[in-house]
Structure 1
Amino acid sequence: MKKALFFTLIAFCCFFRTQAQEVFHDSTALLILDKVGAYFGEVNSLKFNTKTSQDVGFRDDFFIKEFRSGEFIIQGPNQLSAKVIAQGKPQYYFYNGSQIVYYSLEDKIFVASEAPDNTLDMLESLYTDFGIQLVAADFLYPDFAFHMTETMDYIEYLGEAEVHGQKCFHIGAANAEMTFQIWVSQDLEARPAKIVVTYLGEPYAHQVEVTFENWEINETYPDSIFEFLPPPNSKQITWTKKD
């Protein structure tokens, strides 16, 4: 099974490199992606868990693999709270529509910054300004399929696959800078089971893999869980934007 997956990924990358200058958008893949976007465009709240494997720059010519788990609650267009455990250390994020706060439980420090007025733009600015990729959220766009056609030269339905025993549709996409794979559940609710993004830039290709599980939809959460109250003996520090 592992050999089959390995050769599938090799074929996928080789196909893209030979076809990089052409545009190919498979209608079957777009129908599945459109269903994903429509689903998330209609829900009022989401709760889910993630397991992430990410290549992180250690030196200019060397990446190391880091693992983390996360629990996310997203409500409406502009509320988010998250608990992320990285290297055994719990970290928290609170977003209330105007401010994003990061809190380290172990170090008892927190930082706060003004943020855009919606969750998707906040997540993008968090990565652009501070280099923090909190969660892969491309699929949260109601116009997910359109967004993919605008940014990806190649999109194709790659067949059926299983992710942790769950039957899924496997879709691959690519442009000159990255390849993107998504496994979408075949259940009545079209939700991602796994996403893999491979960045092709210098100095070497590097990858992020996210598995999603334990979905809860349309629960009602109190506004207080998206607000940050500094715990006793905690200290605020400055959040410096990356160059």
Structure 2
Amino acid sequence: MKIGRPCAVAILALAAFAPIAHAEDDARAILKSMSDYLTKQQTFSATFNTDIEVVTPDLQKIQFASSGQVAVSRPNKVHAARTGGFADVEMIFDGKQVTIHSKDAKSFAQIEAPGTIDELIVKLESDGHALPGADLLLSNVYDALNAGVVDAKHIGTGVIGGVECEHLAFRNADTDWQLWVRTGAEPIPCKYVITSKAVAAAPQYTLIINSWSGEVKDDFSFAPPSDSKRVDAKAMPHIDDIPEGASE
């Protein structure tokens, strides 16, 4: 039987991929190393880019891009900001309350939420606010990410923004996800991709860390701009990366 070029290339690719199926221990060890490093960082700040895909009713994939920055002071302070084509928002948590500020809509809401960053993330997600990538801010990243993993692979190395990284791939029941972790003494996450297998056409969420620092220049307080008004949390305008009705 004659094998066509595309088929032959695919077979060669599968053959090259086969050995990494035995790298599960390496993948979990690198993930644990990254988690341990992040947990030890009592303060850090980073800048990032995100891309989130939606699938239209006619199965066209559309990506929505945004950029932002985050500052963290463990155990109970975080300031995250994100600017995209459809929202310019920030969230400030001082350990007592969380403020959601829509800069473009000139409005903000404040919710009492005493506790830690971990407790805040759990509360927001239980209230229906999806926070992809927020698990990287938890006090034990390994437990959060490793929960439900049914397959783990160490693919090899890759380069993100000129930085050499270990490339890891994991599978859960409903998602596939990948991590690129910086090699060397500072194993920080450089890229994080989540693929939603339970959704038609498997849309992806991509987070790329552009810069990272152990220093934080933020007092985690919120001073309302003179032209912004306080509103009830339920009255906050649409603040997602994706415009309303984009996937309907």
TM over 0.5: yes
Q: Which residue of 1 aligns with 2:149?
A: 152
Deviations 1:74-113 (A, max 9, x none): 0111101122111175322111112211112222111122
What fraction of aligned residue pairs are identical, expressed as a percent?
A: 23
Cα distance 1:63–1:116, how it changes in 2: closer, same or farther (>3 A)?
farther
Can you give the 5+ residue segments of structure 1 that lack an aligned partner in the other structure? 1-6
Q: Output the CA distance in 2 between the equivalents of 1:240 and 1:124.
A: 19
**Secondary structure in structure 1 of the residue aligned to 2:66:** strand
Deviations 1:150-170 (A, max 9, x none): 321111111111112211100
Cα distance 1:115–1:25, how it changes in 2: closer, same or farther (>3 A)?
farther
Q: Which residue of 1 aligns with 2:203?
A: 206
Q: Match for 1:95 among 93, 96, 101? A: 93
Q: Which residue of 1 aligns with 2:116?
A: 118
RMSD of aligned residue pairs (Cα, Å)? 3.0
Q: Which residue of 2 aligns with 1:42?
A: 40
**Secondary structure in structure 2 of the residue aligned to 1:35:** helix
Q: 2:233 aligned with 1:239, yes or no?
A: yes
Deviation at 1:213, TM superposition (A): 2.1
Q: 2:81 aligned with 1:83, yes or no?
A: yes
Count of residues in Structure 1 that have an aligned counterpart in Structure 2? 221
Cα distance 1:141–1:126, how it changes in 2: closer, same or farther (>3 A)?
closer
* Structure 2 contact 166–180 (Cα < 8 Å) conserved: yes
Amino acid at match of 1:64: I
* Structure 1 contact 37–141 (Cα < 8 Å) conserved: no
Deviation at 1:58, TM superposition (A): 6.2
Give the structure-2-normalised TM-score.
0.77
Q: Output the CA distance in 1 between the equivalents of 2:183 and 2:42.
A: 22
Q: Which residue of 2 aligns with 1:181?
A: 178
**Secondary structure in structure 1 of the residue aligned to 2:224:** coil
Can you give the 5+ residue segments of structure 2 that lack an aligned partner in the other structure? 1-9, 236-248
| Structure with the higher strand share, 1 or 2 | 1
Give the structure-1-normalised TM-score.
0.79
Q: Output the CA distance in 2 between the equivalents of 1:139 and 1:235.
A: 32
Q: Which residue of 2 aligns with 1:165?
A: 162
* Structure 1 contact 93–101 (Cα < 8 Å) conserved: yes
Q: Output the CA distance in 2 between the equivalents of 1:204 and 1:116.
A: 40
Which has the larger displacement, 93-102 or 136-145? 136-145
Q: Match for 2:63 among 62, 65, 69? A: 65
Cα distance 1:127–1:55, how it changes in 2: closer, same or farther (>3 A)?
farther
Amino acid at match of 1:37: S
Q: Which has the larger radius of gyration?
A: 2
Deviations 1:206-235 (A, max 9, x none): 210000021111x3545xx31222221321
Q: 2:52 aligned with 1:54, yes or no?
A: yes
